Structure 1
Amino acid sequence: MATIKTLARAVSCALSLSLISSASAQLDWSQIDNESLLHFQNIVRMDSTDPPGRELEVAEYLVSVLRNEGIDVEVLALEDHRPNVIARIPGNGSKRPLLLMAHTDTVNVDPEKWVFPPFSAHRDGGWIYGRGTVDDKDNVTAALMTLLLIKRQGLELDRDVIFLAEAGEEGATRIGIEYIVNEHFDRIDAEHCIAEGGSVVRQGGQVHYVGVQTVEKLPRSIRLTARGVAGHGSVPLQNNPVAALSRAVAAAADWQPPVRLSDATSTYFSRMASVSSPEAAARYRAVLNPGSSQGQAALQWLKINEPRNAAVLFTGISPTMINAGYRVNVIPSEASATLDVRMLPEEDPDGFLDLLREVIDNPAVEVDFTSRNWRPGASTRLDTDAFRVIESVMQANYNATVIPTMSTGATDMAYLRARGIQCYGIGPAIDAEDGPLGFGAHSDQERIIESELYRFVRTHYEIVEQLAGAQ
């Protein structure tokens, strides 16, 4: 840990004194950008891929930086090499705390597929490349810098500001958010939480809209199992399990589950209509009336052309794995398929399973939930001080409409929402073109726009300053 302490102290000491000369001094954002870059590159260069899972070096770095600034830090770990870091700057207690959360692990990599090494944090052409640059070491850096700036300014706070740098988000919530929520919830109990899950969407280099995640779909797994009589492949059988399974998978994939609108999705499509072309706006408004012929036509168009937008309207089913047979001339007695199911938060799981059984309509095919690390369901309100502040600051910094979004994927905010914390996902500006080109989160060329990292750090700080600063 000595090397990490030395690295962290060198970065902090070299820059902190030049940032602020007194508690009331104007922030020097050019210097803050320099420090943000150094912390960001140092953290990205640490391999914290999950699996196998080792967030220790990132945690030690954060602890060293925070303690060097005199910020209270606690390390909690279910497994020693996978610690969670909790830092707190106390307020006067007139309001309940604000939690900042980011995860220190990343998905794993295939180094041979990367043009720039995945842990190099290489700067090229205005981008910074590396695993975790947009998932989630951008949020780690923004939260870290926010705490440093609050402490250096001596900013008076109406509420405690807590930073949870959690382990295990990508594949081991047992040692991360579940451990903290189940065993140490008092350390992070807060009124509001700001974490990952949102993003500012750019198209053609221009900001199109700001997405703030307020709700997410819930991952479940369904297994289809077809059974029959094993036999010689030379004699076709009417009860062939592979054939029965194939029909069941096709029926599940082709099924259109019921469309359900929520406050978040209704607001999303209404606001998307306000920032879109007349043709797109008409489709977004049409899906707000899903029972109409125009709404059904719009949904079909979205499923083909904008599947991510369509996916927030109903519980989605994606067949992902099939297992059947062991040699070419043997009809197996069993075949199975796994469906990745992303449920709307208000969906009744057992009721959905019954509907799917009716759709498949084959007693020879069993339809059951299978084991999966699933998250509890809850959504976040829009009528809160937190959302109003986020909306105001985002509009000012990005000059764009702020739109509440539903994530089709999962985040650890689900565990906090289930405990009553109002959580909002934010993120930096990302080019909409990057994902399809292979530059997005979890891709082999993950990258962030360097200037947008700096703008995100500033935006993150200003949100916290307005939401937690003494009035």
Structure 2
Amino acid sequence: MSTSDAPTAQDEVADLLVELIRINTSNPTDPERPAAEWVAEKLDEVGIESQIIEAAPGRASTVARIAGKDSSRPPLLIHAHLDVVPADASEWSVDPFGGEVKDGYVWGRGAIDMKDMDAMVLSLVREWSRTGRQPDRDIVLAYVSDEEAGGRQGAHYLVDHHADLFADCTEAISEVGGYSISLNEQARVYTVQTAEKGINWLRLQAKNRPGHGSFVHPDNAVTQLAEAVSRVGSHEWPIVITDTVRALVEGLGQVLEKDLDPEKPDEWLPLLGGAARMIGATIRNTTNPTMLEAGYKHNVIPSTAEASIDCRFLPGQEESMLATIDELIGEHVTRETLVQDIAVETSFDGAMIDCMADALKAEDPTGVMLPYLMSGGTDAKSFSTLGMRCFGFSPLMLPPDLDFMALFHGIDERVPIDGLQFGVRVLDRLLMSC
């Protein structure tokens, strides 16, 4: 095939995404190794060398380096995870691992979290290699495992054991940013993730005397735990406006020509439509009970009861959050941290931010780029420990009526094909100039 006959990145991005969705990488049941090998094969087809690194059998990541025009400049890291959360096929209108194309969308688990970014970057570097184009500086690609379980066998492992592959990178881009939010028929913003909440997954445990279910039993471990869980789950955490949220609200006010007070979220959150679900969780800490376990028979009072709490804390808020939790659970319940990871925040300025804004503006002259704080977590938590500024920038232009946030870990996950092609064009502009 001649270069002129070869598909462009926009031509093949949807096909690559379909292929990748069909490789089931549900974490923890299905390993990422087949997807990591698929990425390596697609890179090898166009002459890009890569290496596959396993943290454990089957838990594999693929890493490659693309030479830029100016190798003296610090490289940019693009990291994207290969794993997805499981999907119950009975809840979906399509096979979640079928990679179906219909109604102008690619459907399937991972379509927006985050195999879309996997495919956009892969299609782009394949086009570069076929045409001889080079980005402005070196690009390090990391297609990683285990992000959906905290990254211990993915990004954390790479940082702990292969930091040399990323040591000279000063900036990184990845998921959940650069997507459009239609504020009204005229105003559209693109939110870039410059911060994310920290994670503290807790196990609460109550222990007391077991006994017969027919007795009076005031020291019931289940009751003690349930009361503690209720207090933690229903606690109204105070509003804390970070620098990132303040900048977002100020930007919204300028776009809409409104005087918005960051300290009054009821005024500005409704303006964000479906995105308010995520951004509304970034003005306070959150502590959500997610699992309960106790007992083994209906008429036996157990000696132990346990609960899982998903805690997410704002930058600088972890210690105060845990102190409040200790007060809420009381003296009869203990807590144990199962998974902990840092909050991340960088400022909304600098050359990379300017390049992102320019790339978006070139493809959507009416769009305005704003920062936001994400309520979840990404592999930026790992790579930021190497001194990189990390941004969520996986650009997509979305239909105004698409409830994008509901698709993350939701049913009928899908991404518009023209949105993917838009993302490819924006990333191409960004990486050729940043």
Please tell me the TM-score bracket, short chain as reference: 0.7 to 0.9
Give yes or no for the alignment of 1:336 onto 2:303.
no
Answer yes or no: is the 8 Å Cα contact 1:221–1:370 preserved in 2: yes
Other structure's SS at 1:370 match: strand
The amino acid of 1:174's aligned partner reads R
Q: Which amino acid aligns with 1:406?
A: L
* 1:152-191 map, 5 Å: 152-171=130-149, 173-189=151-167, 190-191=169-170
Q: Which residue of 1 aligns with 2:196?
A: 216
Residue in 1 that maps onto 2:321: 352
Please, which of 259, 284, 290 is the counterpart of residue 320 of structure 1?
290
Matches of 1:416 and 1:338 in 2, distance apart? 27
Distance 1:90 1:261, change over 3 A: same
The Cα shift of 1:382 comes to: 1.9
Counterpart AA for 2:64: A
Any conservation in 2 of the 1:121–1:130 contact (CA below 8 Å)?
A: yes
Match of 1:17 in 2: 4
The question of 1:413 aligning with 2:380 is answered yes
Which of 130, 151, 154 does residue 129 from structure 2 map onto?
151
Query: Are the equivalent residues in 1 in contact too, given 2:8–2:127 (CA < 8 A)?
Result: no
TM-score scaled to structure 1, two decimals? 0.81
CA distance in 2, matches of 1:148, 1:461: 12
Equivalent position amino acid for 2:90 in 1: E
Opposite residue 157 of structure 2, the aligned amino acid is Y
Letter in 2 for 1:64: E
1:41 is aligned to 2:15: no
Q: Per-residue displacement from partner, 1:291-348 (whole Å, max 9, x unpaired)?
A: xxxx48769999xx94533311121111112223344444444333221101113223
Task: Determine the C-alpha separation between the residues in 2 that align with 1:442 and 1:259.
Answer: 26
| 1:390 counterpart = 2:356 | yes
| Consecutive unaligned residues in structure 2, runs of 5 or more | none
Deviation of 1:142 after TM superposition, in Å, equals 1.3
Distance 1:245 1:447, change over 3 A: same
Q: Which has the larger radius of gyration?
A: 1
State the partner residue of 1:225: 205
Tell me which residue corresponds to 2:94. Answer: 116
- Report the Cα distance in structure 1 between the residues aligned to 2:177 and 2:59, rounded to whole angstroms: 26
Mark the CA change 1:89 to 1:355 in structure 2 (over 3 Å): closer, same or farther. Answer: same
Following the alignment from structure 1 to structure 2, what is the Cα–Cα distance between the partners of residues 194 and 300? Answer: 26
* Residue correspondence of structure 1 range 25-36 to structure 2 within 5 A: 31-36=8-13
1:59 Cα deviation after fit? 2.5
* Cα deviations by residue, 1:66-105 (Å, 9 ceiling, x for unpaired): 2232223222223453332222222332310011111222
**Relative to structure 2, which stretch is displaced further, 192-201 or 210-219?**
192-201
Alignment partners' CA distance in 2, 1:296 and 1:174 = 35
Residue 61 of structure 1, CA deviation: 2.7
1:153-188 per-residue CA deviation (whole Å, 9 max, x = no partner) reads: 433554211211112222372332122111111212
Tell me: CA distance 1:219–1:432, structure 2 relative to 1, closer, same or farther (3 Å): farther
Cα distance between partner residues in 1 of 2:59 and 2:205: 37
Quote the residue 1:371 is aligned against: 338
Cα offset, 1:48, TM superposition: 2.4
Distance (whole Å) between structure 1 residues aligned to residue 325 and residue 267 of structure 2: 24
Instruction: Provide closer, same or farther for how the CA distance between residues 216 and 436 of structure 1 changes in structure 2, counting only shifts above 3 A.
Output: closer
Amino acid at match of 2:309: L
CA 1:365/1:402 → structure 2, altered by over 3 Å: closer, same or farther?
Answer: same
Change beyond 3 A, Cα 1:218–1:233: same
Distance 2:229 2:67 in 1: 54
Is 1:429 aligned to 2:377, yes or no? Answer: no
* Partner of residue 81, structure 1: 58
TM-score norm. by structure 2 comes to 0.87
Counterpart-to-counterpart distance in 2, 1:321 and 1:406? 26
Tell me the SS of whatever aligns to 1:336. strand
What value does the CA root-mean-square deviation take over the aligned residues? 3.0
* 2:180 corresponding residue in structure 1: 201
User: What is the aligned partner in structure 2 of residue 265 from structure 1?
Assistant: 245
CA contact (8 A) 1:244 1:365 kept: yes
Q: In the TM superposition, what is the alpha-carbon distance from 1:455 to its structure 2 partner?
A: 0.7
Q: Which residue of 2 aligns with 1:66?
A: 43
Match of 2:204, SS? strand
Answer whether contact 1:205 1:431 (CA < 8 A) is retained: no
